[in-house]
Structure 1
């Protein structure tokens, strides 16, 4: 099983963030949620390793549970 890599893997992380924000620009909240869901499914399929995806889901859920 491949391990989830959690360190930044982008040469230009700010460029990724800008692109992510731009992709959400002018979307309704519902459209933004739908885009996030589609992005998760596309990237999970690209990863193709259930162990890595399960680890990512667990880590993301833990972050969400500690956000208020």
Structure 2
């Protein structure tokens, strides 16, 4: 049984955050949403475990 890792696993979380912000710079809202969708699908494919992905979806939806 796979479980979703929710603890910080970044050596430098600020570096990733900056890269994410930089990737969205100068995009329209529509382009930014498309980029997010593509990124989600790429990372979901990399994870490849439906149980983990379902848990991630549940946690992401919680409180929205």
TM over 0.5: yes
Query: What is the aligned-residue RMSD (CA, Å)?
Result: 0.8
- Runs (4+) off by over 6 Å: none
Aligned length: 64
Residue of structure 2 equivalent to 1:43: 43
SS of the counterpart of 1:38? helix
- 1:31 and 1:58 map into 2 onto residues whose CA distance is 25
SS of the counterpart of 1:57? helix
Long gaps (5+) in structure 1: none
Long gaps (5+) in structure 2: none
